[in-house]
A and B are shown apart, each in its own frame.
Chain A
């Protein structure tokens, strides 16, 4: 990383780290949750911006991560033999076997990362190993998002149904609603974001990162150079799934709820606009776009609720047709694998001079 770029990153990190001292509690809680969501956006940059395969189902992995942690939080603080409230209301008399392991916070935290990664990897493998086209992949991820949301809503007794999981017990003995816990959660979120950002940056510099870009620009070509492209795509998608899972868990912990409303088709596609606005190839763009869009959404939809959908619809159209490289493209910094600064491979004609 060039020195100047590194300093800018450090400066931004400093400003964010001091958030609890200069932001109101309300804005801090917003920032914390948006930073969590931007971890998911980093994953989208990897698979969509670099690998060129679009996921319309990132909400699935966000949800899996969120539910994995929330299941632990529902069980925490319960006496042995007691059931979470919604199970009692639904008339269950004992805990389903697949809920039991989540009693241990360590298991739940591991599941936050591993379950979405494994599900994403398996899904990607099932699609890609038969050489199904990228467009089909996108549509199948969308069907996946719909299917999971439907499943969660319909299995009220096991998942909390439409309302999802809320009203949490303590994590490692700490109640998440305490004021000090909120600050700690913010710090943990920022730390997780830094770690994921670092990991993705390292990937962008690795041979793997360049391979992803190469697969995007000419998959057959890469195959004809002797690479089996499937494992790389599967690995990238599993990584994005893990990022989304972490994001979902941090979100659930901060907001105090995870529900099918964050899993389905609509929220999943909405996640793409974060990355598209920021610039789909740039990691910094993904974080920036996520924060901008979400703060914008919070502001617009509280001031004029009916206008927000118009704004977002317009954003999708304008960003895709006029600004395919997003804000990141305007700033044109190199953070994608390869010389992204002077090429715009997603568009047939180079966007810049």
Chain B
């Protein structure tokens, strides 16, 4: 592989990793940014999406397996999210650290539940044939560099989900309600907006996105009861770097972390790259403590 080829393939790896992180972080960014809820079970909702995709794949539906899997995973995780919001999260608004602990409890239950149902060993979800290949870049002068279709598919899913969320939040009537509640909950309630229902729907969207992401990520890595753990910490770093309540920031942060991680891995081992990533994030918050995208608010600091 040429030097240029190495750059190109690491660039692609970075974008691919960024899209994975974005999928994992989007739902978190919603519930954290809009509701100030730290959902530690978010990783387990990814895991749940993966298992639902695995179940969908065992149904005799032929070429519709993949879309069905994505749909089932999103719907299942969103329904579970609704249950979680109504039974646990709702009691804890205004106490973000307590939502963190309670949802951690939920994540333990879900892990052990998955272990009891599916066993401790991972299950595989194989990508359909049309996603099996890779695009070689030999023709444009980069021999040895290949772009796997599955990875391109994940990048596409991340892009579509991001665009969809952005569209809903900025263009729809519903998005305006969400922003009204985020800006000033009391005022929104005084205007007759049912903020409780808005919370519920945001949380369902966040968990639904997690489920969808889990199903998509199941195509590239086996689903295990603890698979969510491997995403959650990085997903939170992405949210921190991105800044609260901004999808643009989350997307930029996911891409930045992905590229940085891929770049670091050229020089050092994967595990040292992880450590260096934290160092970089700590350095970053020295410069921009409120993340990439910050909104001007009346007071310099709240809460």
Residues in A321-353 with C-beta less than 8 Å from chain B: 321, 324, 346-348
Q: A residues within 8 A CB of B272? A: 151, 154
Known: A310-B109, A316-B108. A139 touches B102 (CB 8 A): no
Point out the residue from A134, A140, A144, A324 that lies within 8 Å of B98, measured CB to CB.
A324
Point out the residue from A135, A143, A306 that lies within 8 Å of B278, measured CB to CB.
A143
Sample 10 A-B pairs with CB under 8 A, ordered by A number: A132-B289, A133-B301, A135-B97, A139-B240, A143-B281, A309-B108, A317-B105, A319-B101, A320-B105, A348-B95
Q: A residues within 8 A CB of B102? A: 316-317, 320-321
The reply to whether A265 and B233 form a contact with Cβ atoms under 8 Å apart is yes
Q: Smallest distance from the beta carbon of B2 to chain A beta carbons, Å? A: 29
Q: A residues within 8 A CB of B277? A: 147
Is the C-beta of B104 less than 8 angstroms from some C-beta in chain A?
A: yes
The reply to whether A130 and B112 form a contact with Cβ atoms under 8 Å apart is no
Q: B residues within 8 A CB of A312? A: 105, 108
- Nearest B residue to A128 by beta-carbon distance? B289
Is the C-beta of B38 less than 8 angstroms from some C-beta in chain A?
A: yes
The reply to whether A306 and B38 form a contact with Cβ atoms under 8 Å apart is no
Known: A154-B269, A220-B301. A272 touches B105 (CB 8 A): no
With A138-B38, A316-B102, A316-B105 given, name 9 new contacts (CB 8 A). A130-B286, A136-B240, A139-B237, A276-B101, A310-B112, A316-B104, A317-B88, A320-B101, A321-B88
Q: A residues within 8 A CB of B146? A: none
Q: B residues within 8 A CB of A151? A: 271-272, 275
Q: B residues within 8 A CB of A134? A: 97, 303
The reply to whether B240 and A313 form a contact with Cβ atoms under 8 Å apart is no
A54–B38 CA distance with the chains assembled, in angstroms: 13
For the complex of A and B, the 4 pairs showing the least CB-CB separation, nearest first, are A316-B105, A313-B108, A154-B271, A313-B109
If over half of B's interface residues share one DSSP class (helix, strand or loop), that class is named, otherwise mixed; here it is helix
Q: Smallest distance from the beta carbon of A274 to chain B beta carbons, Å? A: 12
A-B contacts at CB below 8 angstroms, number: 124
Q: B residues within 8 A CB of A276? A: 101
A319–B239 CA distance with the chains assembled, in angstroms: 27
Is the C-beta of B159 less than 8 angstroms from some C-beta in chain A?
A: no
Is the C-beta of B91 less than 8 angstroms from some C-beta in chain A?
A: yes
Q: B residues within 8 A CB of A146? A: 233, 274, 278
> Which residues of B come within 8 Å of A, CB atoms?
32, 36, 38, 88, 91-92, 94-98, 100-102, 104-109, 111-112, 115-116, 229, 233, 236-237, 239-240, 269, 271-272, 274-275, 277-278, 281-282, 285-286, 289, 301, 303
> Which residues of A come within 8 Å of B, CB atoms?
54, 56, 126-127, 130-136, 138-140, 142-144, 146-148, 150-151, 153-154, 220, 265-266, 269, 272-273, 276, 306, 309-310, 312-321, 324, 346-348
Q: B residues within 8 A CB of A310? A: 108-109, 112
Point out the residue from A132, A265, A318 that lies within 8 Å of B229, measured CB to CB.
A265
Q: B residues within 8 A CB of A143? A: 233, 236-237, 278, 281
The reply to whether B106 and A317 form a contact with Cβ atoms under 8 Å apart is yes
Q: Smallest distance from the beta carbon of B107 to chain A beta carbons, Å? A: 7
The reply to whether A348 and B94 form a contact with Cβ atoms under 8 Å apart is yes
- Nearest B residue to A56 by beta-carbon distance? B100
Point out the residue from A135, A147, A324 that lies within 8 Å of B38, measured CB to CB.
A135
Known: A312-B108, A315-B105. A320 touches B281 (CB 8 A): no
